[in-house]
Structure 1
Amino acid sequence: MDEFTAEAFVNREDPIPVISITPRSSEESNYPIEKGSSSDSVKSGLSANRLKQKIQDVKTKSDWTPGLSLQERLLAKLWQQVIPMDGSSEEPDTVKKPSTVQIDRPAFSLPVMSTNFRRFNARIGIVFLFQARVINVLSWKTPTHTLSFLCVYSFICLNPYLLTILPFAVFLLFIMVPGFLARHPPPPPSASTSSTTAYYSYDGPALAPAQTIKPVSETSKDFFRNMRDLQNSMADFANLHDATVSLLSPATNFSNETFSSTLFLMLTILTAALFPTAHLIPWRMLCLVGGNAAIIGGHPSVAAFMEKLAQQVKEACEEVKDAKGYVYATTFGIPIPTSPSALTTLLKSAAAISLDTYPEEREVEVFELQHKSVSPYTETSEWETFVFTPTPYDPLSPSRIAGDRPRGTRFFEDVKPPPGWEWKGKKWQLDLECREWVIERMITGVEFEVPGSNASAIGEEVGGWVWDLPFHPPDEDAYNAADDLAFGDYCQTNGKSKSAKKEDPKGKGKMVKRDFEESLAGANGTGEWRRRRWVRVVQRISVDDGSSDSS
């Protein structure tokens, strides 16, 4: 195994991790290997093109070709069942998706993933090197580097326009200058020269080849160091993600509506206040003092001093416990929380607001539908309760025109509230003002009782009923016989009927009006269906989940 790979960015200051490598089998050695590797004994695996070709061969050929082994056939069949070919979705061809930019990307494949991971791991060393350098600077391992960084940071805070110069300065000092020094290295020390200090010659031709960044070899220690750093970085990201979710989720997902509403109100006030005052805040001095304090506070001596000072202050203050067991340190009579839990409790008690606990309310309706048999052999027939339905089933409703029977329940007790709602009132209320909902829905072909009228087409029973008008097919005497009309206020001519002559004593052929009750009595007054509207108040079902803090 090589010790290291020359001209590659890796972190070589940490010890190499101890890992074990499983040797390849004899079958895996037949697969093509990646080009450009230094050792052919470890780099192997199926390429994406070859795997795709094998699957397509097995899919198109029905016979067993001798070129494929049993394991390859089983693997190809497994991929066909699990992963769609060519990255296509499992939706049928009949479903047309909106036109979008199609990007040709390879489908999921274990060999492709393995190859990409090896390539990625061989080139990720520069990221870990930068991470190690940042940690060294902030942890004061080299004080001169940290002080230099503080100087640069202070200059940028005082003069923010220097941020435009920073990328060019980094490009010159960390890329161009090292590249030039690599081309003009110092001469080797000789025995005749007494000074051992290396010096660079800027004159004359280049003495060394140009430096090229190359990926590390897969058999070097640097490759396994990158694997170790990548593994730890994934663990750090997962821990940071979980910590962020556990901290922000309970405060922002309104599991505790009082605390989340208080936080929302405070952020709204702060946002509104920053609009006119943001330009008055000395942001340069805040960044300068805050950044320097944070970096200087990371010095071991300063951190030890601050810890000792905090311990002395804690001993000087009196500690008290509240009813929930949280410890507070009192300074000049002011309670100061000494733990994050106590701080959260203090903020909740100080910024608690009262919320409207009344749930949302709505009014729902149901129609009591009744039916009456209309037969020429029976003079009168009684109304029978048919069904309780959410629609009025008027003469021009689509379900009635299509010939469908009204849908609903036979009994009032079987009417259920909508999903997510519950009954607030105990009883249904009858809507006696039927005129409003009939006009609101623009229902035609029906008649209803006018409030304050003593006449009713359905007898003495009064209760917000809306009945259908009787249907009469047109014939020759449709406009001559008053008995065939639904309304009694239509005009009739004299000489056409006896009733008209009776009401026109002078016989001069004037238009006369029949009485409302007489007209309806002669025409049976109603159709086959009638309905009335019942209303009831529902309210939202409140959901109290106590699992909000378990995330």
Structure 2
Amino acid sequence: MEDYTPDAIVNRDEPVPVLSVRRQRDESRDTKSSSAGHQRSVSGAGRSLQDKLFAKLLQQVIPAEDVNDDSVAVGDRRPVDPKRPAFSLPLMANNFRRFNARIGIVFSFQTRVERLLTWRKSSHTFSFLFVYSFVCLDPHLLVIIPIASILLFVMVPAFLARHPPPPSTSTSSITPYYSYQGPALAPAKTIKPAPETSKDFFRNMRDLQNCMADFSDLHDATVSAFAPLTNFSNEKISSVVFLLCTITTASLFLTAHLLPWRYILLVGGNVAILSSHPSLQELFQNIAGDITNETAGQASKRPGIEKKDTMNVLGLSLPSSPSATMSSLRSLADISLDTYPEEREVEIFEIQYRSLAPYSDSQWDHFLFSPMPYDPLSPSRIAGDRPKGCRFFEDVQPPSGWAWKSKKWELDLDCREWVVERMITGVGFEISESVSEESAANDEIGGWVWDLPSATSYRDNTGVSSALGYEDFDSDFKLPLKGETKKMKRKGKRPTSQDYEEKGGTGPSVMGEWRRRRWVRIVHRTSLPSESGKGQTTSEDRD
């Protein structure tokens, strides 16, 4: 294996990594995969050892389903470009090898930046600070930097490579000199990818591996730090951050052109780079240690006084620990987001039933409380299903995320409104001009909406009843319109709908098997519960 390639740009500061390949634990899987991929291996017999190695490694992380299936859309996935090749393990392995052989220039640049900012050579860092300061004072110099970088770091080294100094033949330590006259003495220098059998190739793999780990750690740290502040998992803290960002945005929108950005960047950049100097870092650590020891000593001298979470620095009270900082943020976020939570009205229908069988006493019996009125044309009733709900008011639960505000249920006496709103047909109802609360609690009156019997559903003199279906009850029987009801009230007449009892009371000739009335209650918004009750009826939410 070659030690390094002269024309390849890689990071050679660390030793060559050791490649560790795990043996397969499941031999049967190897047998199946090798038998299934025998045809593909034969077709690619001309591939190199590296292609086969990377293909084997990638087969362990690729899911078993078809990865070329583009029919499933995931989020905001980009559309498939037909000009681009589909996913292929051999192609993936080949592109990875090419990428790894050429990524050395990025890692080399990263290493030089780290050396520059960590004060490995103070002269280089000070030179960078001077250049940065000049650019901050005169931003027009920023246009010159790319061109000057090409001249100094690309073309000058390339010219020196073409005109190297002659070899020294004397034994004295004479500095070799460059000859800028005459023809070129050496071939032009070009950047070549690192060969796959060289140590530089594995150095690039090592750096790529560490770079992926650093990116993953940085990603996880960023998400853990900023996600709780911005995803409204804690609405108070996220609301405070939202308000601060809104105020800052509005303020900068008006005052950004008045701020001295040149001096802000000049001072901020110099302070950030100078603070990373090892001597200053040690000084800051000593100062922080002295302050911590002094605070701990004062607390030990006064055992009755608890340790303070803040420290006084230049007259400012600052948190002394990360926990104290979070406590300060929580106290800042202790605000009232919504004094008046959202309120809505929920409804439940009390459903009663009576039998129209022969020789029955025709008494109404409480059936259950249901979120649906179970009207004659409801889908569940047409399908032959019984109404669903609970037997008692106490079993009715508010919708998820809501809580009861009013203490009790209230009867809706204006049944005409919700019947017309739902466009329910085949029912009759009573419009009462004045109904007291005592009478509303009675079972016989107060907001009832009953089914109209069909024309073939009747009782003869012997009391025999037959129910064959729903048809029009009576051509003379009509539900009064809203305008007609008002006119009748002005003339002192009762609406036509109140003539049910006059025509036959509440007997079988007027009412069907089912009747219902509506109860309402006020709820207000609360936080979502961890577990919702099972087997309980939830009232229907209505604006």
TM-score by length of 1: 0.69
Partner residue of 1:252 out of 224, 227, 230: 230
For structure 1, list consecutive stretches of 5 or more residues without a partner in the other structure: 36-41, 52-74, 92-96, 474-481, 490-512, 546-551
CA RMSD in angstroms, aligned pairs only: 4.5
Cα distance change of structure 1 residues 20 and 347 upon mapping to structure 2, 3 Å threshold: closer
Using the aligned pairs only, state the percent identity: 52
Match of 2:2 in 1: 2
Shift of 1:132: 0.7
Aligned-partner residue type, residue 146 of structure 2: P
Aligned-partner residue type, residue 173 of structure 1: L
Shift of 1:8: 0.6
Aligned-partner residue type, residue 450 of structure 2: W
Cα distance change of structure 1 residues 436 and 230 upon mapping to structure 2, 3 Å threshold: same
Match of 2:385 in 1: 405
Distance 2:330 2:354 in 1: 65
Match of 1:129 in 2: 108
Answering whether residue 455 of structure 2 is matched by residue 448 of structure 1, we say no
Partner residue of 1:391 out of 372, 380, 386: 372
Match of 2:17 in 1: 17
| Residue pair 1:32, 1:45 contacting (<8 A) in 2 also | no
Match of 1:72 in 2: none
Match of 1:346 in 2: 328
Cα distance change of structure 1 residues 200 and 420 upon mapping to structure 2, 3 Å threshold: farther
| Residue pair 2:354, 2:514 contacting (<8 A) in 1 also | yes
Shift of 1:168: 3.1
Distance 1:535 1:170 in 2: 77
Match of 2:483 in 1: none
Match of 1:138 in 2: 117
Aligned-partner residue type, residue 369 of structure 1: I
The residue correspondences of 1:530-545 to structure 2 (distance < 5 A) are 530-540=515-525, 542=527
| Residue pair 1:468, 1:526 contacting (<8 A) in 2 also | yes
For structure 2, list consecutive stretches of 5 or more residues without a partner in the other structure: 24-33, 457-472, 481-495, 531-543
Distance 2:312 2:97 in 1: 58
The residue correspondences of 1:109-508 to structure 2 (distance < 5 A) are 109=89, 113-191=92-170, 195-201=174-180, 203-308=181-286, 325-330=307-312, 335-349=317-331, 352-356=334-338, 360-373=342-355, 381-400=362-381, 402-409=382-389, 411-412=391-392, 415-421=396-402, 423=404, 427-452=408-433, 461-472=444-455, 485-486=476-477
Distance 2:515 2:400 in 1: 29
- Partner-residue secondary structure (3-state), 1:266: helix
Shift of 1:10: 0.7
Cα distance change of structure 1 residues 315 and 282 upon mapping to structure 2, 3 Å threshold: farther
| Residue pair 2:380, 2:387 contacting (<8 A) in 1 also | no
Distance 1:192 1:468 in 2: 121
Distance 1:207 1:514 in 2: 114
Return the structure number with greater relative CO, CA threshold 8 A, min gap 6: 2
| Residue pair 1:372, 1:529 contacting (<8 A) in 2 also | yes
Distance 2:123 2:497 in 1: 113
Whose Rg is larger? Answer: 1
Aligned-partner residue type, residue 461 of structure 1: E
Shift of 1:518: 4.2
Deviation sequence 1:55-89 (CA, Å, 0-9, x none): xxxxxxxxxxxxxxxxxxxx9xx99x953447126
Count of residues in Structure 1 that have an aligned counterpart in Structure 2: 465
Deviation sequence 1:272-305 (CA, Å, 0-9, x none): 2222111111111000011112212223334344
- Partner-residue secondary structure (3-state), 2:239: helix
Cα distance change of structure 1 residues 450 and 351 upon mapping to structure 2, 3 Å threshold: closer
- Partner-residue secondary structure (3-state), 1:531: strand
| Residue pair 1:433, 1:464 contacting (<8 A) in 2 also | yes
Deviation sequence 1:153-196 (CA, Å, 0-9, x none): 11221222333333333333333333333333333335499953
| Residue pair 1:3, 1:221 contacting (<8 A) in 2 also | yes
TM-score by length of 2: 0.70
| Residue pair 1:486, 1:523 contacting (<8 A) in 2 also | no
| Residue pair 2:351, 2:370 contacting (<8 A) in 1 also | yes
